Amino acid sequence: MDESDLDIKNIRKDFPILSQEVYGKPLIYLDNAATTQKPIQVIRKIDEVYSTINANIHRGVHHLSQLATEAHEEARKTVQRYIGAAHSREIIFTSGTTGSINLVASSFCRSQCKAGDEIILTAMEHHANIVPWQIQRDIMGVQLKVVPFTEKGEIRLEDIEELISSKTKLLSLTHVSNVLGTVNPVADIIRLAHNYNVPVLIDAAQSVQHEAINVQALDCDFMVFSSHKMYGPTGIGVLYGKETWLDKLPPYQGGGEMIAHVSFEKTTFNELPFKFEAGTPDYVGSTALGEAIRYIENLGLNNIRKREDRLLRYATEKLLQIPGMQIFGTSDKKAPVISFLVGGIHPYDMGMLLDRLGIAVRTGHHCAQPLMDALGIEGTIRASLAFYNTEEEIDALIAGIERVAKMF
């Protein structure tokens, strides 16, 4: 299948929510970086698991428990295939990107760091890739170093290299900025960090739904992402870690599932991946995430990328024709995320008025206040696109912005 074969009119019918009206206007959903809408196949899968195989997994000998366990472990293999991991035991199910980063920050710093050691982040990180490290800074005394970004919103390799020292223990950065849309050159960055024996965590929350990623080809040490941003259900996400790293890290949370044997004197821990999955896992979520991945694979990630690139170019060109338009993030390599301000109009006012026209955009700091500080602004309006968006919807956004601009 080729991108031009994507029958968007029909594909949109897979997403029941997209045919809704808001304030009597057709919904135009341009907040996909916050969360994507769900195809009926994913919604039905959740229904199917609860209706036909629901039972707690792993410990049950009975029929339903075995079916639910198989569905959960099959989903792990689907994730493994999707990101090209070497083993399914390198796929840990978590509550999401935030849960995954908290796990690594805690387990990594506790076991690999001492006071004065350094973790490198960038100035374009989401709070989820800042605050867990600050918590460890306060507990463990690790230091945080921050790579700046350029006027175009790009990370320069030389700026990373300058910050690496003999005390650097980890580099943790986003693949795609959820504000600027910049696609960071993570392959080059990982190669550079590895030259200094520094492992790298990639926050793929904004990339794994837009482009094919192979963790073995990238050679990243950890990668994290959320199901709900890739057409899957909320409440579940993934931590990929190289087996050698996951073996070295201590468990993050204690409880059922993650143990081999418990006595009051001593507990021994289960093998990977269960060591990091304390408590009843979200086997309904994992199974539905597997369905979301099959949905993406069916459309073809390359086709998705080509279509989203085209929509991004179309929207950027049209937006730039609006007087007073300022787009933040002008890298040549961007995911379909556009942050902007129009004249002196407050983002909140623009967002509220667009909403009355049925257009859902996000406004504010987008959980990236240090990035906003670096830009010297408080917030932006953000339109983030998915393959199911259309040129007509972008035209409606442009008309909406022009209408709001006239009111000010």
Residue 97 engages ligand PLP in binding (rule: CB under 6 A): yes
- Which residues pair with residue 357 across a beta bridge? none
Stretch binding ligand PLP (CB under 6 A), from 6-14, 55-63, 198-206, 270-278: 198-206
Shortest distance (Å) from residue 367 CB to ligand PLP: 6
Residues 323-352 touching ligand PLP, rule: CB under 6 A, are none
If binding means CB under 6 A, how many residues of this protein chain bind ligand PLP? 12
How many other CB atoms sit within 10 Å of the CB of residue 76?
23
Stretch binding ligand PLP (CB under 6 A), from 44-52, 70-78, 91-99, 341-349: 91-99
How many other CB atoms sit within 10 Å of the CB of residue 50?
10
Strands (E), 148-269: 168-174, 200-203, 222-226, 237-241, 259-262, 267-269
One-letter amino acid for residue 227 of the chain: S
Closer of 87 and 127 to ligand PLP (Cβ) = 127
Residues 144-173 touching ligand PLP, rule: CB under 6 A, are none
Give the distance from CA 252 to its chain's centroid.
Answer: 21
Closer of 80 and 209 to ligand PLP (Cβ) = 209
Measured CA to CA, the distance from residue 242 to residue 108 in angstroms comes to 13
User: Kind of pairing, strands 337-342 and 325-328?
Assistant: antiparallel
Residue 98 engages ligand PLP in binding (rule: CB under 6 A): yes
Site string for ligand PLP, 107-146 (x = CB under 6 A): -------------------x-xx-----------------
Shortest distance (Å) from residue 378 CB to ligand PLP: 18
Among 172, 174, 286, 363, binds ligand PLP (CB under 6 A): 174
Q: Looking up tokens 């309006």, which residue turns up? A: 381
Nearest to 108 by CA among 245, 269, 223, 240: 245
Across the beta sheet with 325-328, the strand order is: 325-328, 337-342, 380-384, 362-364
Among 106, 182, 226, 389, binds ligand PLP (CB under 6 A): 226
Contact, 368 vs 205, CB < 8 A? Answer: no
Residue 203 engages ligand PLP in binding (rule: CB under 6 A): yes
Contact, 123 vs 371, CB < 8 A? Answer: yes
Among 78, 206, 331, 363, binds ligand PLP (CB under 6 A): 206
Closer of 180 and 198 to ligand PLP (Cβ) = 180
Shortest distance (Å) from residue 128 CB to ligand PLP: 4
Closer of 127 and 318 to ligand PLP (Cβ) = 127
Closer of 328 and 357 to ligand PLP (Cβ) = 328
Measured CA to CA, the distance from residue 149 to residue 154 in angstroms comes to 5
- Which residues pair with residue 339 across a beta bridge? 328, 382
Measured CA to CA, the distance from residue 280 to residue 227 in angstroms comes to 18
Measured CA to CA, the distance from residue 244 to residue 87 in angstroms comes to 12
Shortest distance (Å) from residue 207 CB to ligand PLP: 8
Closer of 126 and 307 to ligand PLP (Cβ) = 126
Candidate list 109, 113, 220, 367, residue with the active-site label? 367
Token duo for residue 21: 């009206």
367 is catalytic: yes
Stretch binding ligand PLP (CB under 6 A), from 76-84, 92-100, 381-389, 398-406: 92-100
Contact, 284 vs 50, CB < 8 A? Answer: yes
Contact, 245 vs 339, CB < 8 A? Answer: no
3-state SS, residue 239: strand
Shortest distance (Å) from residue 64 CB to ligand PLP: 30
Nearest to 165 by CA among 120, 135, 132: 120
One-letter amino acid for residue 218 of the chain: L
3-state SS, residue 405: helix
DSSP per residue, 261-277: EE-SS-EEEPPTTGGG-
Closer of 98 and 168 to ligand PLP (Cβ) = 98
Shortest distance (Å) from residue 407 CB to ligand PLP: 30
Among 30, 57, 93, 96, binds ligand PLP (CB under 6 A): 96
Closer of 122 and 270 to ligand PLP (Cβ) = 122
Shortest distance (Å) from residue 13 CB to ligand PLP: 27
Instruction: Give residues in contact with ligand PLP (CB under 6 A).
Output: 96-98, 126, 128-129, 174, 178, 203, 205-206, 226
Q: Which are the catalytic amino acids?
A: 367
